[in-house]
Amino acid sequence: MQPTGEAHLGNYLGALHRWVELQERFDCLWCIVDDHAITAGGDPRDLPKKVVDLAVSFLAVGLDPEKSILFVQSDVSEHTELAWLFNAVTPMGDLERMTQYKDKAQRFESVPVGILNYPVLQAADILLYRADAVPVGEDQRQHLELTREIARKWNAGYGDFFPEPEAIIGDEGRILGLDGNAKMSKSLGNTVDIMAEPDEVWARVRTAVTDPQRLRKSDPGRPELCNVHSLHRHFSSPDVVEDVAHQCRGALRGCVECKHILSDSIVTTFAPMRERAAELRAQPERIRDILDDGATRARVLARETMAVVRQRMGLDWRKGWKR
């Protein structure tokens, strides 16, 4: 996950709550991808704090460094080394066909190479640990297929070594932002930080778009088409979800009341996580130690992979030394 600061509702619903479950069943590595983040530009002085904020979010929601490996991408230099070597087998045309590349390239007058090469580094992030499965959203399925293709091409040229990882797709579907139009994103301002205080949560939820055809409280609503009601299904109890739908259809409760209930449900859901986050922030050395330990453990795996990769690609020149 890219370090954009504290995790938000979209991160939690689309990824983090599933990650907590996955660590109970698999050997997992969770990486804060700061090398990826620099392709978006921004003030480099802000990046370290964003990394720490996301690390706090990881730990607060329940990712456990005793059960999985949590680390920062730039602490394991083998990520970028393997990405460079994968450039040797990745066709330019495959990168230019990536939908996200086409979308992002439109924002630049001169497109940075990192925007084009982003999926190659992503493939290295995955294959460096010879992962056989990756939890991704639908928007990343194309990148994962490219990762599988890179593994196939490298194996064909240098011998079978890398697995072709499968996608683990959640059943949440696309999580729309509070605007009801786009995917939740901090850059679009259509989400809520999961560590936000109650008044901040309400300030954001009150802006949420509801059923566009319900103009007055006396108009019957259509909860199945209301984005606020779709969020209720993630945060409110089944009884509350059913009651809100009933009251909405019968014009017995207005949209503002519905938003108040959603805001309270969000606050209640994340209350234990806000407490854990506060405890972690009071112990910054603990966060540092967890990330340092995670990087140390990740390097062991990464170096094992790179020893094989370098040897097979002819980069272990000492083996050809003649006295």
Q: Per the residue annotation, which of 49, 67, 104, 322 is the catalytic one? A: 104
Provide the residue type at 21 as one letter: E
Of the candidates 153, 183, 259, 322, the residue annotated as catalytic is: 183
71: part of which helix (H) or strand (E)?
A: strand 69-72
User: What separation, in Å, do the N-terminal and C-terminal C-alpha atoms of the chain show?
Assistant: 48
Give the Cβ contact number of residue 252 at 10 Å: 14
CA-angle at 19, arms to 240 and 82, nearest 5°: 150
Residues 6+ positions from 266 with CB-CB distance below 8 Å: 9, 192, 201, 205, 235
| Known catalytic membership, residue 319 | no
Q: How far is CA 252 from CA 1, 216, 224, 232, in A?
A: 42, 11, 16, 17
Q: Is 186 a catalytic residue?
A: yes
Pick the catalytic residue from 50, 153, 186, 322.
Answer: 186
Distance CA 129, CA 144 (A): 15
Decide if 183 is catalytic: yes
Q: Which contiguous run of DSSP H or E holds residue 115?
A: helix 113-127
> Residue 193: what are its φ and ψ, rounded to 5°?
-65, 140
Does the CA dihedral 92-93-98-100 come out positive or negative?
positive
**Residue numbers annotated as active site:** 104, 183, 186
